[in-house]
Amino acid sequence: QVQLVESGGGVVQPGGSLRLSCAASGFTFSSYGMHWVRQAPGKGLEWVAFIRYDGSNKYYADSVKGRFTISRDNSKNTLYLQMNSLRAEDTAVYYCAKDPTLYCSSTSCSPGGYWGQGTLVTVSS
Amino acid sequence: DIQMTQSPSAMSASVGDRVTITCRASQGISNYLAWFQQKPGKVPKRLIYASSSLQSGVPSRFSGSGSGTEFTLTISSLQPEDFATYYCLQHNSYPPTFGQGTKLEIK
């Protein structure tokens, strides 16, 4: 069965960096695009970033563009989110989510039915 | 970016009620619309994709409809486990955008 397990969250000071990981299993990781979605405490869902199945294309929300970098290692079945220049408003639970479409490469790719349990990032001094 | 506006933002209903939640897109998105359910402290769960296709394992009392700019999620007969927050998501063009959520509470 599909499993997505995030790790790497924690408390970081404003301006600091953190790298999140998402370990995938139960499917052919190298065949599916992957997303990061976040949710600030008590707030709604916000899509953060997407990476194509082969890592050749990446897309970001304007709110994180230039500060966050999505990447993947298909040999390790792992998705990453490198977060730099963190701000208080980046405080959220971060979820990784699998795209449901095999080899999705268009701008209609989206999070599907499989999400990780989330990892909490708190940006505070 | 495409803006997604859900209505209502919150509502109360009783077990057995028929409930409809609406999501309007700021521009046409064809049928690139999904609905998610989220309970407190839990991971979002996809209920509907492609506007009207039911996710495997989701009860048939959930249904979706619409195309273009207006979409609805209908729960035909509310069950106790349906009280949650519901989000629509458009993915016609990047960035994908969620509605602000509709909190469904017990009356």
pLDDT in tens, B55-78: 999 999 999 999 999 999 999 999
Q: What are phi and psi of A29, to 5 degrees?
A: -55, -40
Residue-wise burial string across A86-99, b where 16 or more C-beta atoms lie within 10 A, e elsewhere: beeebbbbbbbbbb
Chain A interface, Cβ < 8 Å to B: 37, 44-47, 50, 59-62, 95, 100, 107-113, 115-118
Place of tokens 């953190």: A18
pLDDT per residue as tens, chain B (107 positions): 999 999 999 999 999 999 999 999 999 999 999 999 999 999 999 999 999 999 999 999 999 999 999 999 999 999 999 999 999 999 999 999 999 999 999 88
Under 8 Å between Cβ of B79 and B15: yes
Q: What's the per-residue H, E or C state across chain A?
A: CCEEEEECCEEECCCCCEEEEEEEECCCHHHEEEEEEEECCCCCEEEEEEECCCCCCEEECCCCCCCEEEEEECCCCEEEEEECCCCHHHCEEEEEEEEEEECCCCCCCCCCCEECCCEEEEECC
Residue A28 to chain B, least CA–CA distance (Å):
20
- What would the pLDDT profile of A3-39 be if each residue is shown by its tens digit? 999 999 999 999 999 999 999 999 999 999 999 999 9
**Residue B4 DSSP class:** E
Residue of A6, A45, A58, A65 to mutate for B, most B C-beta atoms under 10 A: A45
Closest among B53, B17, B38 to B100, alpha carbons compared = B38
- The C-alpha R_g of chain A, in whole angstroms, comes to 14
How sure is the predictor about A95, in pLDDT bands with cuts at 50, 70 and 90?
Answer: very high
User: Would you state the structure tokens that stand for residue B100, as one six-digit string?
Assistant: 């602000």
Residue of A46, A68, A96, A108 to mutate for B, most B C-beta atoms under 10 A: A108
Tell if the CB–CB gap between B45 and A113 is shorter than 8 Å. yes
Mean pLDDT of chain A: 96
Among partner residues B43, B93, B98, which is closest to A47 by beta-carbon distance?
A: B98
pLDDT of the residue at B103: 98
Residue B97 to chain A, least CA–CA distance (Å):
7
pLDDT of the residue at A105: 80
Note whether B89 contacts A: Cβ–Cβ < 8 A: yes
Question: What is the C-alpha separation between A118 and B25, in angstroms, rounded?
Answer: 28
